[in-house]
Amino acid sequence: MEHIRTTKVEQVKLLDRFSTSNKSLTGTLYLTATHLLFIDTHQKETWILHHHIALVEKLALTTSGCPLVIQCKNFRIVHFIVPRERDCHDIYNSLLQLSKQAKYEDLYAFSYNPKQNDSERLQGWELIDLAEEYKRMGVPNSNWQLSDANREYKICETYPRELYVPRIASKPIIVGSSKFRSKGRFPVLSYYHHNKEAAICRCSQPLSGFSARCLEDEHLLQAISKANPVNRYMYVMDTRPKLNAMANRAAGKGYENEDNYSNIRFQFVGIENIHVMRSSLQKLLEVNGTKGLSVSDFYSGLESSGWLRHIKAVMDAAIFLAKAIMVENASVLVHCSDGWDRTSQVCSLGSLLLDSYYRTIKGFMVLIEKDWISFGHKFSERCGHLDGDPKEVSPVFTQFLECVWHLTEQFPQAFEFNEEFLLQIHEHIHSCQFGNFLGNCQKEREELKLKEKTYSLWPFLLDDQKKYLNPLYSSKSPKFSVLEPNTVSFNFKFWRNMYHQFDRTLHPRQSVFNIVMNMDEQNKQLEKDIKDLESKIKQCKNKQTDGILTKELLHSVHPESPTLKTSLCFKEQTLLPVNHALRTIEGSNPADNRYREYAEEFSKSEPGVVSLEYGVARMTC
């Protein structure tokens, strides 16, 4: 490619991010069309996708070489020292070009080829079918119908083609309402609660200014409350802080005037805007990236970044929404300014609390497709896929994932998926490897012909499903049908495995989930062995009674039970996971992979004392 001048630099040092004594690994740096690759002397590979790079910095030349710092969107930070300044400069320039593409067509997804044919690819795209999902919720029904008003994206460009609205809302009402809403995003159905017959609807702010009204919009809201046969009033949740909403009135926008709408209960919930969130995350990352961070700096930094306060605000809003439906049986209309950031957060989290389907692996994909992708959360702008306005970048979706993570911490049995699944999704909203998150709305995606030119992420995650299963999941438990999280402050914790996912030295050294998963597997295997053996015994006995028990038959039993043998190996190894002698014993190979991980964890534990190096250095000097 034209941007790559140097493809290989030797003798490059990779500094340990948290080491105070500049501990480093030496290796070779390779630059490919899609990745930056570092291979150290132990042959350990570090792959960095160009699209993941958020920032490249070339620091002042030092005696050992030219430092190059790369910050990634998945919170990886690497610090290289390149011996020659010219090489460093070349790499720096190449990365600047490669990490910021001007056109969608240059993104990785358009060249990524996982060796699937066209029909497989199409099948992948059809895995998530939103029409099917609305059917599952119970729409269309006597109160809600599919509207074809936006079939050609004529009313709202950022909405999907297929929208569900109250049956009594006629097309002129919809068109009228859309003219009164910012970006034409009029109130539509996001989630329908079958038992309560109540709905979550979403829209953007009304163009009410100081006094404007719109009869069609008022009618549409009334139609939504009428579509709920149980409760005549509905909530209108403005997810912004009141002050922000009032400021918008001066610009001819604003919020609903309770006097103009019959039967609405208006509520502000105070989630801050994308700019506040962006700088909050920035501060958080600054704090936790500090070398030799003290406990008190960590907590005061965590506090002043406000990050956890914002997470709590989103969670509180979702709980308000879920309660309105569960306790009061009321429908709720949610909006913010444009209705694609905070609204997506609150609607999707609210649905997740209400409906256990969204807590399964497939259901969570559906939820993201519905409330985020199809309703026009601007993934490409928020994730900075292309070289664009940095003010449009904001970690709105990351916050959603973090809220879900907090729920998985509070309800470890309520989710089919584990933390790894959330991390993997986060990885791919930025990777541009799959087509799902490219573009800012459905219309744009269709124009890009993503379904023909790129692959969908979901089938790949489903194929790998085993990695993402939560061993503690209990799908049947009625306790977890509706989640009622407790948002007392001490329940909110720093999500280390997200913001330090590549800083392995900070992680717990052993994973409970893994061992429970393995235990389950062994269990299944053992049970299967028992069954096999029992059936063999039966066979033998039958033959015995027939009087034809031969030696051969007895022998045939043995060769056929290697499964038992390996499982016995498993058992021995469980007792001695890091005994090197045992790992070389012949026949124990199947277990090797499992324990290599542990041995690695142990060897990794050495840098864990990195923060002590100061003391150790003093010891030896």
Count of CB atoms within 10 A of residue 36's CB? 24
Count of CB atoms within 10 A of residue 31's CB? 22
* From 105-113, 185-193, 458-466, 511-519, span contacting other proteins (CB under 8 A): 511-519
> Is residue 512 a contact point for other proteins (CB under 8 A)?
yes
Q: Which of residues 114-143 bind other proteins (CB under 8 A)?
A: none
Minimal distance in Å, beta carbon 293 to other proteins?
6
Of positions 29, 284, 308, 354, contacts other proteins by CB under 8 A:
308
Of positions 26, 262, 510, 584, contacts other proteins by CB under 8 A:
510
* From 73-81, 132-140, 208-216, 522-530, span contacting other proteins (CB under 8 A): 522-530
Residue 62 DSSP SS3: strand
Instruction: Map residues 562-601 to x or -, x wherever contact with other proteins holds by CB under 8 A.
Output: --x---x--x--xxxxxx----------------------
Q: Between residues 360 and 611, which has the closer beta carbon with respect to other proteins?
A: 611
Cis peptide bond N-terminal to 140, omega within 30:
yes
DSSP string, 242-306: HHHHHHHHTTT-----TTTSTTEEEEE-----HHHHHHHHHHHHHHHT-TT--HHHHHHHHHHH-
> Is residue 478 a contact point for other proteins (CB under 8 A)?
no
* From 21-29, 50-58, 218-226, 613-621, span contacting other proteins (CB under 8 A): 613-621
Angle (nearest 5°) at CA 346 between 344 and 351:
95
Of positions 179, 507, 583, 594, contacts other proteins by CB under 8 A:
507
* From 64-72, 143-151, 451-459, 523-531, span contacting other proteins (CB under 8 A): 523-531
Greatest Cα-to-Cα distance within the chain, rounded to the nearest angstrom: 98
Show the tokens assigned to 287. 């704090």
Please give the backbone phi and psi of residue 520, each rounded to the nearest 5 degrees, phi first: -60, -45
Of positions 119, 490, 547, 559, contacts other proteins by CB under 8 A:
490
> Is residue 1 a contact point for other proteins (CB under 8 A)?
no
Could you say which of 88, 203, 336, 347 is catalytic? Answer: 336
**Closest to 206 (Cα-Cα) out of 263, 254, 257, 258:** 254
Whole-number Å distance between alpha carbons of 350 and 476: 21
> Is residue 293 a contact point for other proteins (CB under 8 A)?
yes
Show the tokens assigned to 614. 């100061």
Show the tokens assigned to 453. 């030119």
**Closest to 221 (Cα-Cα) out of 144, 166, 179:** 166
Is 336 annotated as catalytic? yes
Residue 337 assigned ligand-binding role? yes
Of positions 44, 496, 543, 565, contacts other proteins by CB under 8 A:
496
> Is residue 617 a contact point for other proteins (CB under 8 A)?
no
Angle (nearest 5°) at CA 281 between 276 and 284:
125
> Is residue 414 a contact point for other proteins (CB under 8 A)?
yes
Of positions 126, 303, 592, 600, contacts other proteins by CB under 8 A:
303
Q: Which are the catalytic amino acids? A: 336
Annotated binding site for substrate, which residues?
273-274, 336-342
Annotated binding site, which residues?
273-274, 336-342
